[in-house]
Amino acid sequence: MNIKYLIALALAGLLAMSSIAYAGESLNAYFTVNYITYLNPNGQVNNYYIEYTLSIYNNEPRSIPLNVSMSILPYSSVIYTSPAATAINNNMVTWIITLRPYSEEVLDVRFKPVYTLLPIATLDYGVLVNGSSVNSTVVNGNVGTNVEIFINTTNQLPFPIVTTITLTRQSGLFYEYNITPTITQDLLGYEVDYWLFNTENVTSMSLNMITENMGPWHSIRINPITVQTSIDLNESIKALNESINSLNSTLNQLVSFSSTVINASSLSSNYTTQFFQLIALLNQTAQVLGASAYLINSTLMVEGLLQAQLVELKVALSTEGQILGTEVSVISQIRSLLGPIANNQQSYINELNTLKQDLLQIESSTNNATLISEINNAITIINQLEGSLTALTQLYNGLGAVQDELTSTQAQVNQAVNGLNYAIAAANESETLIISISNNLYLLHNELLNLTNQLLATYLSISSYQTRALSYMAQVNNYEEEIRSMIVNDEVEETVLNTLAKQYLSYVSINETNVSTDVTVEETFIINMPSIVNTQYLLQLINATTAQGNETQSPRTIGIVVNGYYGYFLIMGIAVSIMLILILIRKFRY
């Protein structure tokens, strides 16, 4: 597919970028370019030509004079024009017309170029009669003869095209096919089957026709099968624009979400670093308290050192209390950032559900497979965003619990500071209080150890939340890259289609002005099927007619010319019929 893109873009750079049409909204125009090819059953080209059709609509209550020109390929032979062209000079066919108020004019030119390159698709087919290849347009057969055709259409554009296969049924044949017709219509008493395909790469189909009744002349001519590929360039470009806009909107939402999560994660990282430092300080202080209590019990000589240690410990705990207050403030800031998301979670989910419903409505109103695939991808992303919003709300609630734990811890630290104040006062009052102080220190040591364990559990919980948030961010980043890749792919396709539209618009000039014109490109392949003829019956009929002709020339029949008058005309009628059949066979063969 990448090679097709490169080739298409390289050709696009060499094409003329001018587009010629007409100005104003008073006129609407639709330009169709149809590449028509007639094919033999054996795969040979019988005939080919190109047909331009321009439909112009006058939306004004006044007549509009128009000078319309169509540029055909160099060295082409004009087959016919409708209506008759005003002038044909070199490669330019010109009409000078007056378009009446609120009327339509259809201009058509059919020409045969020296050669032609099919721009949107190629056709590969094969016709088999009773399992064998066909080398002529007339095949010997009888009732039960099986005619089979295989059709493969290959898309040469980086955008889906529409393939239509048409078959007009006829009496005397029984039809078998591997795909049920999309539409069946009754046209002028004939049943016509249509198969419609959205061809992205290759469309394949097979059809069997078995002779059931060959008629009084023991022959049947099988109707041609038409294969047409087409693309409405304007509608395709419009669909790509809608897809690109939708993908850009989704990408902007993901980028905004990613930015919010990154900011929250940055604050959380700073918070966890300070939190870990606080845990280390509390653990160190608890160890000092335990050692101090042991020394107090060992000797009174360390009383002065203990008092100094208590003062230092008080300062440390006061500092720790301030750090805890800072951490509570940091968590409060993080929750204030996540608060709008958590508090409006249901609103966001409702908006995402509304967006999902809009996408589902678009999906139900379009047959474009690429657009449907992109809508399904967008719906999958929306579902994942809803899960991420739920996870963020859980993180918000978890941080609230952490904030409560830190607040409780800060209160405990304040209680410990008060206990230190009491211990210092008691040491100053009397040595008898040393034992009580030692006990208090042990109690404080245990409280600090418990507090350290609580803070460590809180730290691990916050780290887990942060890891989950980063995991979600990795998924969101992958989605962003996929969407960017889809946008680039759609933009490349849009560039190719815009270039094709400009190329075909350069073939048309109306009053030498510019206007937006809808362009449709078609390729029509008309596959002539073989005629089935019972040659043995024909030979018998010829022999019988020859014998009867010789008998009419005998002396006995000459004597009864009047009585044989009716038989004479019967013989002549049969002879003429045989001659007509032979002429038809010769025509089919060549």
Is the residue at 563 inside a domain?
A: no
| Residue 16 clears pLDDT 50, i.e. is over it | no
Residue 162: which of 193, 125, 121 has the closest Cα?
121
Domain count, the chain: 2
| 134 and 209 inside one domain | yes
pLDDT of residue 9: 37
| 481 and 515 inside one domain | no
3-state secondary structure of 411: helix
| Residue 564 clears pLDDT 70, i.e. is over it | no
Is the residue at 585 inside a domain?
A: no
Q: Which residue has the higher pLDDT, 39 or 367?
A: 39
Boundary of a domain, candidates 497, 521, 551: 497
According to DSSP H, which parts of 430-534 are helical?
A: 434-505
Sorted by sequence, the CB contacts under 8 Å of residue 374 that are 6+ apart come out as 243, 246, 247, 486
3-state secondary structure of 513: strand
| 444 and 482 inside one domain | yes
pLDDT of residue 575: 45
| Residue 555 clears pLDDT 50, i.e. is over it | no
Q: pLDDT of 277-301, one tens digit each? A: 777 776 777 677 667 666 666 655 5
Is the residue at 21 inside a domain?
A: no
Residue 297's CATH number: 1.10.287
| 218 and 289 inside one domain | no
pLDDT of residue 156: 92
Q: pLDDT of 172-208, one tens digit each? A: 999 999 999 999 999 888 899 999 999 999 999 999 9
| 187 and 65 inside one domain | yes
pLDDT of residue 576: 46
pLDDT of residue 198: 95
pLDDT of residue 289: 67
Q: Read off the pLDDT band of 69 (50, 70, 90).
A: very high
What's CA 423's distance to the chain center, in Å?
76
Give whole-number Cα distances, 435 to 294, 419, 424, 502, in Å. Answer: 10, 14, 13, 99
Q: Read off the pLDDT band of 25 (50, 70, 90).
A: low
Q: Which residue has the higher pLDDT, 8 or 447?
A: 447
| Residue 22 clears pLDDT 70, i.e. is over it | no
Mean pLDDT in residue range 549-575: 41
Mean pLDDT in residue range 46-64: 93
| Residue 516 clears pLDDT 50, i.e. is over it | yes
| 143 and 75 inside one domain | yes
Q: How far apart are CA 308 and CA 298, in angstroms?
A: 17
Is the residue at 234 inside a domain?
A: no
* Percent share of the chain, pLDDT over 90: 29
Is the residue at 328 inside a domain?
A: yes
Q: How far apart are CA 205 and CA 207, in angstroms?
A: 7
| 214 and 278 inside one domain | no
Which amino acid makes up residue 348? Answer: Y
| 78 and 189 inside one domain | yes
| Residue 153 clears pLDDT 50, i.e. is over it | yes
Is the residue at 579 inside a domain?
A: no
Q: pLDDT of 108-119, one tens digit each? A: 999 999 988 888
| Residue 337 clears pLDDT 80, i.e. is over it | no
Which amino acid makes up residue 557? Answer: T
Tell me the average pLDDT of the chain: 78
Token pair for 513? 């002005």
| 189 and 108 inside one domain | yes
| Residue 464 clears pLDDT 90, i.e. is over it | no
| 135 and 77 inside one domain | yes
| 493 and 512 inside one domain | no
Residue 200, domain extent: 27-223+507-532
pLDDT of residue 551: 52
Is the residue at 549 inside a domain?
A: no
Q: How far apart are CA 458 and CA 464, in angstroms?
A: 10
pTM over 0.75: no
* Percent share of the chain, pLDDT over 70: 77
Q: pLDDT of 374-401, one tens digit each? A: 788 888 888 877 787 787 777 778 777 7
pLDDT of residue 410: 72
Q: Read off the pLDDT band of 444 (50, 70, 90).
A: confident
| 332 and 185 inside one domain | no
Q: Read off the pLDDT band of 526 (50, 70, 90).
A: very high
Is the residue at 570 inside a domain?
A: no
